[in-house]
Amino acid sequence: MVMNNSLNIDSLKQELLTVLPSIRVREQEALKYHTTFKIGGPADLFVEPTTIQELSFVLKTIKHHNVPVTIIGSGSNILVKDKGIRGVVVSVREMMQIMDCNNHTLCVGAGYMLKDVSEFALSKGLTGLEFAVGIPGTLGGAVFMNAGAYDGEMSHIVSAVRAVDFDGSIKEYDTTQLDFGYRHSVFHDNHEVIAEIIMTLQAGDKESIKSRMDELTEKRESKQPLEFASAGSTFKRPPGYFAGTLIEQTGLKGLAVGDAQVSEKHAGFVINTGNASANDVLTLIKEVQKRVHDAHGVHLEPEVRLIGED
């Protein structure tokens, strides 16, 4: 794609407004309001489709206008740089028109938060989603990453996915086509946008399901700094080590650059204690990497995805 200009953005916006209301097509939208880090400069254009048909129209129109595009969900694993993102950002966070249950099968829009989907399954007496109650992010993002925790992962329960490509075509994938692996799905390779997910669960006892969800929620709340904005675990687990343990052993709990700080509660998290900039976070990450490498000879690789312009 060629670099966009104001004329491209303006003509794209005008065409999008023939289908979407103006409240869901906004210029210069601050992305700090759309990431769990609460950090990030503006998007040239920010678009929020709510149905698979709207998503199809949006992606096809963006391609026609030749404007760069970035797809986000709840923004739970990204750090947006301080100058923001050029082109258009499409958020699937409002893709919440569908949450249905038929026997043991759930059909859910990609924008729902995992916690809400887990609680919906509980309300229907269905087991299999308990592991996801504490994972931050949307269902679509969880399928994209094959998210997992506590011996469960999305590949165990997802039976079909509907996605949209950049020509606006709606595709459907069954379990044999999803290419699930460790933190991987086919959507890493084909770059299509997940819109709706079908999951097959099992009948269970509501009290047992709730008890397990409460147990996992308590584990997460006791160990992670959920009272502060963050993007989750900042670093990938290095082979043979735990990132948080290495950082704590290096004496870096509480280390800060501006309002970016290594959490006192869990050293594997960089948190935003107030009004941290992306540059604050990046400077802190580099300092942690340097000190851990100096002390232990281990290179920590960031898990948080960095997007946008400095």
Q: Considering the chain, tell me which residue range(s) the CATH 3.90.78.10 domain(s) occupy.
A: 229-307
Q: Tens place of pLDDT for every residue, the chain, 310 residues?
A: 344 466 689 999 999 999 999 999 999 999 999 999 999 999 999 999 999 999 999 999 999 999 999 999 999 889 999 999 999 999 999 999 888 888 899 999 999 999 999 999 999 999 999 999 988 889 999 999 888 888 889 999 999 999 999 999 999 999 999 999 888 899 999 999 999 999 999 999 999 999 999 999 998 888 889 899 999 889 988 999 999 999 999 999 999 999 999 999 999 999 999 999 999 999 999 999 999 999 999 999 998 989 998 7
Q: Considering the chain, tell me which residue range(s) the CATH 3.30.43.10 domain(s) occupy.
A: 6-91
The pLDDT of residue 5: 60
The pLDDT of residue 7: 67
* Topology of the domain comprising 99-223: 3.30.465
CATH of domain 6-91: 3.30.43.10
CATH of domain 229-307: 3.90.78.10
The pLDDT of residue 101: 83
Distance from C-alpha of 246 to C-alpha of 266, rounded to nearest angstrom: 11
Q: Considering the chain, tell me which residue range(s) the CATH 3.30.465.10 domain(s) occupy.
A: 99-223
Give the catalytic positions in this structure: 183, 233, 303
